[in-house]
Amino acid sequence: MSGDGNKQKEVIKLADVGRGDAGFSAHFEVLEKGTVRIIESKKWNTRYRLAEILVGDETAIMNIILWNTDIDTIEVGKSYLIQDAYVSVKDECIKLCKSKKGKIRPLSTRIEKINQQLNMSLPFVGARVRQTTRKDDVRTLDGIPASNFKKYCGPKDF
């Protein structure tokens, strides 16, 4: 999903979000707000507020990280649209984040049924599975089939 310029107009489901995705929009409903933490920047000598909020849609639930005034603009039980979002990965857990130019807007319609069975913020849930194929006709450099090849030398071979 990453790399396309027209992803901003595309609204995707939370279950379709993966590592490295950026510049997309998503609908969600706020399920619960986490505790607000205060983070102090040593470089700029300023304080920031940070909160992890559990959100969900028809396909999955996921944590979203919000900063400062965005924390106060959302309410539990209401639906929102996040624009220009990206996925952050920390400790093999993916989290939804709003970019600097992104916006969170309220929706007039509520999401009726939320699937709480699939939590995308758990470790390795958003990881894509690699497919490996094993060849049956593997041969050594001498042309001997690998299944007939003696892999280890015995004590008499020395």
Query: What single letter denotes the amino acid at residue 141?
Result: L
89 occurs within a structural domain: yes
90 occurs within a structural domain: yes
> pLDDT digit string (tens) for 100-133?
999 999 999 888 899 889 888 888 776 666 666 6
> pLDDT digit string (tens) for 52-100?
999 999 999 999 999 998 999 999 999 999 999 999 988 888 899 999 9
138 occurs within a structural domain: no
149 occurs within a structural domain: no
Domain that holds residue 19: 5-128
E-strand ranges in 34-109 read 37-41, 46-56, 61-67, 79-90, 93-106
Given CA atoms 73, 74, 80, 83 in this order, what sign does their dihedral have?
A: positive
Q: Is residue 47 classed exposed, middle or buried when 0-12, 13-18 and 19+ CB atoms within 10 A define those classes?
A: exposed
Q: At 13, is the pLDDT very low, low, confident or very high (cuts 50, 70, 90)?
A: very high
73 occurs within a structural domain: yes
Question: Scanning the structure block, which residue is given the tokens 């220009």?
Answer: 84
> pLDDT digit string (tens) for 14-65?
988 888 889 999 999 999 999 999 999 899 899 999 999 999 999 999 999 9
Q: Which residues, in sequence order, are CB contacts of 29 under 8 Å at separation 6+?
A: 55, 56, 57, 77, 78, 79, 80, 110, 111, 114
151 occurs within a structural domain: no
156 occurs within a structural domain: no
**What is the model's pLDDT at position 6?**
46
- What CATH code is carried by the domain that includes residue 124? 2.40.50.140
CB crowding 14-29: b at 16 or more within 10 Å, else e? bbebbeebbbbbbbbb
16 occurs within a structural domain: yes
Please give the tally of structural domains in the chain: 1
